[in-house]
Chains A and B, each alone.
Chain A
Amino acid sequence: MKKVRYILAVLLIIQSILFIRVVPCLADSDAGYDTEYEDYSDEDYYNYYRVDDSAGLLSEDEFTELDNILYDISTGYQMDVLIVTQDGLDGKNIVAAADDYYDYYEYGYGEDHDGILFMIDMDSRTWAISTTGRGIPVFTDSVQENMTSRMLPDLKDGNYYNAFRTFAFSCEDRLRSWNEDSEAGYSESSESSGLSGSAGIIVYYVVPLVIGAVLAGFVVFFFLRQLKSVHMRYAAGEYIVKNSLRLSKRSDLFLYSKVTKVPKPEEKKRGGGGSDWSSTHTSSSGTTHGGSSGSF
């Protein structure tokens, strides 16, 4: 009976220790968006067209299809992805035009107006990308270059619908891999910091348990070894008559040698073009945008 009580006491101690750990996780960690427009639901607020076909390059079906795709991507990743076609910019530079368009219509998710806009002007045959907020670090210069170089053949050939689809899906791919790579980094903006999901469970519970068990094992092993004192003796060292060792033969013979060499690592210089960062500029409204431009 005494043993049973003992075991129960041990289990009780363990239970209470584990409970202390679990409690913090029960706190609610939902952080919604900072919405100024509290009378609109999120769904209503973000329900607008993401394609502006002023240049008339798309059929009605193509327009709808594209808009749906952009809606899905934008709401799924909380990043506004927009396509604008123009026929004449009134002399404005296309980069400025893209920035202003985005700012004027207040596109973008969240406080920082996260989003990316692709504008094409048929009059000057130029295009521009404008990124804002989170869109800036996500769509780096090299990512943009990659996307636009794949769109360029279609733009040149007049297959605008294809080019725009390429744009949309490239953005989606980039957003997906960005999310996978930096789950931890992004959680800071919208959720309480720390790992969540299956990674969290492993790091917070499984690993400490394993470490605990291993350390406990060492201690227990030490105490168990205390109990053992019987073992066969190794060799007969104590029975050598002191100083009775006499060497009769002694030869240290050099045979051959080999030299190996390892080259020293060179100092690598940092590359220029195609770098993995985003250049930025400020638009007329004072907002910082990233982006690129070109002609077709």
Chain B
Amino acid sequence: MLKFLIPLILFLVMAVFLAIGLQRDPSHIPSPLINKPAPVFSAPKLTAPQESLSPKDLHGQVWLLNVWASWCSTCREEHPVLNLLAQQQVTLIGLNYKDKAEDAFAWLQQGGDPYRISIMDNNGKIGIDWGVYGVPETFVIDKKGIVRYKHIGALTFESIQQTLLPLIAQLQSETP
């Protein structure tokens, strides 16, 4: 009896591992920044390059950092979702990654500007500090300035309903 059970048990164990593994995308790299303080930067604002923004300016509120670029086609898919987030009064900060200011302006004029503030990272150094490897990426930072979540790839209506908006609501209720 045991002789027939052992292969069956082995198969079931393998099937469980395969089922878990097939639901994951192996190219998605988990961020080592989760539950760590947001990497420091001082970036010029797109609309006012002589002014700059850094994470400590946003202390006390829950905010999202969305890494985007005018040359990124996937960002187009994500844009309507960002517009929806902006309508929901979510503080969206845009990190314009390795882009030119005039292209960024043209893009925002075309699709609408969902960002509270857009900042520029022309040489990609801020991107390296945040572990950005593919555009678009979105980070959620809490009131204390701790990175709590990273979404890799384009945001979808489904993902914001299921994950992002509930997380933001939860973080809003935390004390700063």
Q: Do A and B come from one complex?
A: no
**A residues neighboring B (CB under 8 Å):** none
**B residues neighboring A (CB under 8 Å):** none
